[in-house]
């Protein structure tokens, strides 16, 4: 790789006094929240975000919509170092079903937005991810992963091509400081690295009515297709809009200047189809969609092959591709792809009403431990429990019968196809 470009890194140890009381020290994982909230009837929805719970509020960061969440009556919980809404008065069940039926507005401003600029930005980023960035068209985005030298996953992210030698990354909230340090360590000298943690907020408008709602403010968004990315003026403010999301539904993610986020959120909530949605429903929606949550369904000890994410490794970067390898852990990942792995992530449907939680052991008919649950809970759309887990490769075929051990009782489960609900991405 050429090293003739000057190093420009707009970064120092992140300090966010404008909206932070004190930044907590937190590891890079998609965790920091446990919740159990009752909704319709006596049904309880328990999230899978249940590691490293820290109920202290004195050290939490806040997003630009924090006051609005309070005004709307949100129940706030610690998540990834932020004080975030887990649910609103309607409850998780109704929020989930509303998103599937109409449109839900999510505050995901805790996630990290990072801009890379420079003629070598795409080529440099390819040294950290197993994805084709060089051929990513302007106005499109792509799912990617930072891989480790051993083939594990450091974080997953979205990468968009803004044009003019600019890339926009969106990384997980709890990982963003470490991801930024990772980028600075490896890409300094090849591109400008600009964290936008304070400058920009991020909203997600999800559901079948999302296109109708957003098109009232900017008609051109209706023509966008899944994973397209554009600069769009909303309420007179230039925003970055992508047709994507984390629910399995059609929808948009909107990067907006932080000081304009509340005005935009309030305007969207004026639309009759739109309701505010918290982390509880976001988790159950992504679980039904079969989408991974970093720190639960994948981590540094999990490879893309094991996580059933081989589809995310671009063909041009695979062992027989034109730009094969060149990213951390490539040889280990290629070897797994060729020889197979001992465990893989699969979908699981309990055959009883019992909820199966993260960390639950999975056994075969003889009682031998063959895997563990990585995410589990109640699926409001399915009106029943569902889970994802890692199983020994001998048990990953669809319809295979296995058992979860819940409080000493064996709960039968069948290996199921993911996503659990039909994806409704708009592809034109």
- Which residue numbers belong to the known binding site for substrate? 253
Bridge partners (DSSP) of residue 274 are: 103
How far is residue 138's CA from residue 276's CA, in Å, rounded to a whole number? 32
SS3 string of the chain? CCCCCCCEECCCCCCCCCCECCCCCCCCCCCCCCCEEECCCCCEEECCCCCCCCCCCCCCECCCCHHHHHHCCCEEEEECCEEEEEECCCCHHHHHHHHHHCEEEEECCCCEEEEEECCCHHHHHCCCCCCCCCCCCCCEEEEEEEECCCCCEEEEEEEEEEECCEEEEEECHHHHHHHHHHHHHHHCCCCEEEECCCCEEEEEEECCCHHHHHHHHCHHHHHCCCCEEEEEEECCEEEEEECCCCCCCCEEEEEEEHHHHHHHHHHHHCCCCEEECCHHHHHHHHHHCCCCCECCCECCCCCCCCCCCHHHCCHHHCCCCCCCCCCCCHHHHHHHHHHCCCEEEEEEEECCCCCCCCCCEEECCCCCEEEEEEEEEEECCCCEEEEEEEEEHHHCCCCCEEEEEECCEEEEEEEECCCCCCCCCCCC
Annotated binding site: 253
Q: Which of 241, 28, 286 is nearest to 277 (CA)?
A: 286
């Amino acid at each position: 790789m050429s090293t003739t470009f000057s190093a420009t890194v707009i970064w120092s140890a992140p300090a966010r006094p404008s909206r932070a009381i004190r930044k907590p020290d937190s590891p890079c994982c998609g965790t920091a929240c446990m919740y159990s909230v009752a909704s319709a009837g006596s049904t309880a929805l328990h999230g899978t975000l249940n590691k490293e719970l820290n109920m202290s509020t004195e050290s939490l960061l806040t997003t630009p919509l924090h006051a609005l969440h309070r005004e709307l009556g949100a129940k706030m919980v610690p998540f990834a170092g932020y004080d975030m809404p887990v649910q609103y008065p309607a409850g998780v069940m109704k929020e989930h079903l509303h998103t599937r039926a109409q449109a839900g507005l999510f505050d995901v401003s805790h996630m990290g937005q990072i801009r890379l600029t420079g003629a070598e930005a795409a080529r440099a980023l390819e040294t950290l991810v197993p994805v084709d960035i060089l051929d990513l068209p302007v106005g499109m985005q792509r799912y990617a992963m930072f891989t480790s030298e051993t083939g594990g996953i450091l974080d997953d992210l979205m990468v968009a091509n803004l044009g003019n030698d600019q890339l926009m990354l969106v990384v997980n909230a709890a990982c963003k400081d470490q991801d930024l340090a990772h980028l600075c360590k490896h890409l300094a000298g090849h591109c400008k690295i600009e964290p936008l943690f304070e400058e920009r907020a991020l909203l997600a408008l999800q559901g079948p009515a999302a296109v109708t709602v957003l098109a009232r403010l900017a008609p051109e968004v209706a023509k966008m297709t899944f994973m397209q990315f554009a600069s769009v003026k909303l309420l007179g403010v230039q925003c970055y809009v992508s047709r994507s999301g984390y629910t399995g539904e059609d929808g948009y993610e909107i990067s907006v200047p932080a000081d304009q986020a509340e005005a935009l959120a309030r305007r969207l909530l004026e639309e009759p189809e739109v309701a505010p949605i918290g982390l509880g429903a976001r988790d159950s929606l992504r679980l039904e969609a079969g989408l991974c949550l970093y720190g639960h369904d994948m981590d540094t000890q999990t490879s893309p092959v094991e996580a059933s994410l081989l589809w995310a490794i671009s063909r041009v970067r695979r062992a027989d591709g034109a730009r094969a390898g060149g990213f951390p852990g490539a040889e280990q990942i290629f070897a797994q792809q060729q020889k197979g792995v001992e465990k893989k992530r699969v979908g699981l449907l309990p055959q009883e009403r019992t909820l199966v939680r993260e960390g639950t052991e999975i056994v075969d008919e003889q009682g031998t431990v063959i895997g563990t649950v990585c995410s589990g809970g109640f699926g409001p759309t399915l009106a029943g429990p569902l889970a994802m887990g890692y199983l020994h490769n001998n048990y990953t075929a669809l319809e295979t019968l296995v058992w979860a051990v819940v409080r000493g009782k064996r709960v039968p489960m069948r290996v199921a196809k993911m996503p659990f609900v039909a994806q409704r991405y708009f592809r034109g």
